[in-house]
Amino acid sequence: MNRPRSLSPKKQRQLMEKRGIIFPKNTHKQDAEKIQEIGYYKLKEFAIPFSVKKGKRLRYKNLTFANLLKRYYQDKNLRIYLLHAIENVEVYLNNLIATLLGDKYGAFGYLEFKEWCDRSIPKFEIEEKQFYFKNNLLKEMKRSNLPDIKAPNNQNEDGFPSVWTMVDCLTFGESIFLFSIMSKKNKEKISNVFDLTPRELYSCLKCLNMIRIVCCHNSNLIDISIRTRSSMPHKYKNVLFKVNGNYTNRVALVITLVKYFLNKINPKYNFNNIYYALQSLIDNDDNEAHRLGFKNKNAIKFL
């Protein structure tokens, strides 16, 4: 059995070149240093879309080292900018939840799940969800840096925070969970804000949360394939690439979702950073636009 061998950055560069990646002349030392800085396997991950297998050997076609570095760095930029944008959606959703539950059920009514949850969910399941939610909430309160959450006038007799401060403790996933178990009328009040059905909103939010996790964990975003396609805003379908009659499941879908939500939340939101990162990746090439899930090289102008 062949075991992995230790290769110096210089040897890693030679291996990449042998497999077809095109390097500039007389930059061996700088290239090796860059491979050491980023990591061989991380760079290899961003080269996958350009790879073909010849027998057991991996080869790369039409890929320069400069373009490989650009893919890595623009992916990093795109993750930072999308994370910033998605956090706007997260905060807004939290405020919608707090306003709805606070207005209808009072400052601490959210603690009684049976009052605002979908009554088709079995009673024991609701009680179980309530127990774990409250248990986790107390732990998260201790970690919170929000001064008002620990103020006595913002807590009930059991030490739980008011609904308006509680949402500061929620992760995006937990906010989506609370929405998912709401009664139909409560779901509709929130989804109507976005001109979506509850099912469409839930689908979109799950997709955005998944992308948020990718953005937080240094994962490859620009080559992502979303396994379960999210609902998509009809308004932006014309910018998406279609394969065999189906709309894309690539990063372009996520970007249209972010654009749709932020147009509802803050129409003045500046998408320039996202636009320029995409423009650099596409580099006036329709094939690169298709790789990201856009209809063509000009499709990103909707941003």
Check whether 299 has a pLDDT greater than 60. yes
Share of the chain above pLDDT 70, in %: 99
Rounded Cα–Cα distance for residues 180 and 199 (Å): 9
Burial class (CB in 10 A: 0-12, 13-18, 19+), 57: exposed
User: Do the beta carbons of residue 242 and residue 49 sit within 8 Å?
Assistant: no
pLDDT digits (tens, 9 = 90+) for 9-37: 999 999 999 999 999 988 999 999 999 99
How many angstroms separate the Cα of 43 from the Cα of each of 81, 211, 212? 21, 21, 22
pTM: 0.91
| Three-class secondary structure assignment of the chain | CCCCCCCCHHHHHHHHHHCCCECCCCCHHHHHHHHHHHCHHHHHHHHHHHEEEECCEEEECCCEHHHHHHHHHHHHHHHHHHHHHHHHHHHHHHHHHHHHHHHHHCCCHHHCHHHHECCCCCHHHHHHHHHHHHHHHHHHHHHCCCHHHHCHHHECCCCCECHHHHHHHCCHHHHHHHHHCECHHHHHHHHHHHCCCHHHHHHHHHHHHHHHHHHHCCCCCCCCCCCCCCCCCHHHHHHECEECCEECCCHHHHHHHHHHHHHHHCCCCCCHHHHHHHHHHHCCCHHHHHHHCECCCCHHHHC
How many angstroms separate the Cα of 45 from the Cα of each of 69, 176, 297? 12, 31, 24
Q: Give the per-residue pLDDT at 57.
A: 83
pLDDT: which is higher, 227 or 89: 89
Mean pLDDT of 168-193: 97
pLDDT digits (tens, 9 = 90+) for 190-247: 999 999 999 999 999 999 999 999 999 888 999 999 887 677 777 888 999 988 888 8
Rounded Cα–Cα distance for residues 289 and 280 (Å): 11
Burial class (CB in 10 A: 0-12, 13-18, 19+), 205: buried
Check whether 1 has a pLDDT greater than 70. no
CA-atom Rg of the chain in angstroms: 24
